[in-house]
Amino acid sequence: MLNKAEGGKLRKILAIDGKTQRGNSNKNQKANHIVSAVDEKGFCLGQTRVEEKTNEIKAIPELLERLNIKGTIITTDAMGTQIEIVKKIRQKRADYVLALKRNQGMLYEDVSLYFKDIQMKESCEYRKTVEKARGRIEKREYWQTDDIAWMKKGKKDWSGLKTIAMTRNTIEENGLKTVEERYYISSLEKDVKEVSRAIRGHWMVESYHWHLDVTFREDGNRTLEKQASDHLNIIRKMALNILKVYEVGSRPLSIKKKRFAIGTNPEKHLERILEL
């Protein structure tokens, strides 16, 4: 449990990612692609639709411009790791923890090579967590360093860059072991607990999109008109935001079970929902 002083130090994490409405496509048009901003509590705070002839790289700055992100930590997947997006984040007085993949070319290669050097890795701040559930063991390891003087070009191009980080996720299940390593750049000071919280927190936007697919069956909806499909996406997100805070009875229920309970007797719950 956090005491009051520790709780006040935690900064809001805002995860940004895109999701395609697969049921919105046919041979004559591409499906809508919606970029959403989801906080660590699982609430969507904003979204923008990617125009057919553009991509997330242009949509993310537009979304950030409409949001008050001052003091937050922005996370994205590798698609959002772009120089102009970083500039927008820093202009809005926020920090970032952004994933790297091979599409970043030399930046990815340089950071991955750094962490492959054992001596370099030993100088990093380190954190490890282990979770066990139903015969599955997941170990998460985090390394972070502010030793980036060697990144002369990178430091100049990436506004506010202060640290780089690496994660290694090791999963053991049914006698099988899988290992995945990922790399990040960040404007945060060296504090491996904070950067690991941001990296882990990005999972929330993926969970949010999972609910749209599984709980609301968005991909199965065949609405082809672009604007109508976009509006339905907004309505689903409004409903999901409400379901996250609304309690149907005395016992906690899943989002899916809450939907079912409300649907069986909507008059009973409508007044309480409107009071939220």
Average confidence (pLDDT) over 103-114:
88
Q: What is the residue whose two structure tokens read 């008059």?
A: 267
Which helix H or strand E contains 185, and what residues bound it? Answer: strand 176-186
In a domain, 233, yes or no: no
How large a percentage of the chain has pLDDT more than 70?
A: 95
Q: Is the pLDDT of residue 3 over 60?
A: no
- pLDDT for residue 273: 87
Condensed to tens digits (0 to 9), the pLDDT of residues 187-201 reads 999 999 999 999 999
In a domain, 55, yes or no: no
In a domain, 174, yes or no: yes
In a domain, 157, yes or no: yes
Rg from Cα positions in the chain: 21
With left for phi above 0 and alpha for psi between -120 and 50, is residue 4 left, alpha or beta? Answer: alpha
- The strand pairing partners of 167, in sequence order, are 142, 182
What's the domain count of the chain?
A: 1
In a domain, 187, yes or no: yes
In a domain, 31, yes or no: no
In a domain, 180, yes or no: yes
In a domain, 64, yes or no: no
Beta carbons within 10 angstroms of residue 209's beta carbon: 19
Range of the domain at 173: 100-201
Q: Is the pLDDT of residue 130 over 80?
A: yes
How large a percentage of the chain has pLDDT more than 90?
A: 67
- The strand pairing partners of 34, in sequence order, are 19, 49
For 145, what's the count of Cα atoms within 13 Å in the CB-facing half-sphere?
A: 19
Average confidence (pLDDT) over 16-21:
92
